[in-house]
Amino acid sequence: MPIILGRLAVVVAMGLAVCGGLLWAGVIVVPNHLNPFSPLRIADSPSWLTRLKLGRLERNGAQCLAVLADSEVSHKPVTDQPLEQGCGFSNAVEVSRSSVGLSRGFTATCSLTVAWALFEEHVLLPAARRHLGQEIVRVTHFGTYACRNINHRAGGRRSEHATANAIDIAGFVLADGQQITVKGDWIGSDPRRRAFLRALRDGACDVFDVVLSPDYNEAHHDHFHFDMGSYRTCR
């Protein structure tokens, strides 16, 4: 039996290798979002391959900028800021607006900005239409780059904000002028707003590496934290 299982494992491995080669060569054609070898596209719906492809962009600055150029995010590359005491950034962009307005511009790593573009296209805008029946016109955020530790503690590990690899989202403005905030509506009286915010939290987990909401701890009672760090958390 061990010999048979060993031979079967070899056959399976060879089959996977052949299929991988045919995919790479383009002999086998599958949809872009299901092809692990094809570049990420903002237009593709998130799948189990999305975060794999985002990871590649973190290691390939030129390809990341090419993906971002095919989005609605208005941006320009910024000069690298070498790490000093755990703070700084590389392959970052300055964002002035995206498919919606922003309370202010921000500087973020290219991969975080691509993830934000995916989030807007496939999570934020559809959730607003589904739960609120209208468009989002502006996003209010607390910022991206800040040379600090996690939760502003005096000691401990640096936050992903220290490398411009995180963004904190506080609220949204609808087309009719209504404002929705994480602080006021996460456990507010309007079930549509609660459902909208939870849809954002859940959908963000398909794109970002770390997603923290008011359900995580008191420090996040008034915002969502999204980052592209080395950990994986969805709370």
Strand partners, 212: 225
Strand partners, 224: 169
At a CB cut-off of 8 Å and minimum separation 6, what does 115 contact?
A: 54, 207, 208, 226, 228
Task: Give the least confident one: 28-32, 99-103, 124-128.
Answer: 28-32
Alpha carbon dihedral 19, 21, 27, 33, in 10-degree steps, equals: 80
- Average the pLDDT over 142-158 and give the result: 94
Give pLDDT, residue 36.
86
- Average the pLDDT over 15-34 and give the result: 57
User: Is 109's pLDDT higher than 80?
Assistant: yes
Structure tokens at 190: 């309007």
Distance between alpha carbon 81 and the CA centroid of its chain, in Å? 22
| Whole-number percent of the chain with pLDDT over 90 | 80
- Average the pLDDT over 147-159 and give the result: 93
Q: How far apart are CA 48 and CA 30, in angstroms?
A: 15
Using one digit for the tens of pLDDT, what is the confidence trace for 191-227? Answer: 999 999 999 999 999 999 999 999 999 999 999 999 9
Phi and psi torsions of 169, nearest 5°: -105, 125
Give pLDDT, residue 15.
45
- Average the pLDDT over 171-185 and give the result: 98
- Average the pLDDT over 30-42 and give the result: 81
User: Is 107's pLDDT higher than 70?
Assistant: yes
User: Is 32's pLDDT higher than 90?
Assistant: no
Are 192 and 128 in contact by the 8 Å Cβ rule? The answer is no
Q: How many CB atoms lie within 10 A of CB 214?
A: 19
Instruction: Please compute Rg for the chain using Cα positions.
Output: 20
User: Is 33's pLDDT higher than 70?
Assistant: no
Q: How far apart are CA 73 and CA 176, in angstroms?
A: 23
Please, what's the largest Cα pairwise distance for the chain? 69
Give pLDDT, residue 37.
85
Are 226 and 115 in contact by the 8 Å Cβ rule? The answer is yes
Q: Which of 167, 109, 116, 69 is nearest to 125 (CA)?
A: 116
* Average pLDDT value over all residues in the chain: 90
Give pLDDT, residue 12.
47
Give pLDDT, residue 11.
46
Using one digit for the tens of pLDDT, what is the confidence trace for 154-164? Answer: 888 999 999 99
- List C-alpha distances in Å: 162 to 150, 193, 232: 9, 31, 18
Using one digit for the tens of pLDDT, what is the confidence trace for 47-80? Answer: 999 999 999 999 999 999 999 999 999 999 999 9
Q: How far apart are CA 166 and CA 164, in angstroms?
A: 6
- Average the pLDDT over 120-125 and give the result: 98
Give pLDDT, residue 150.
94
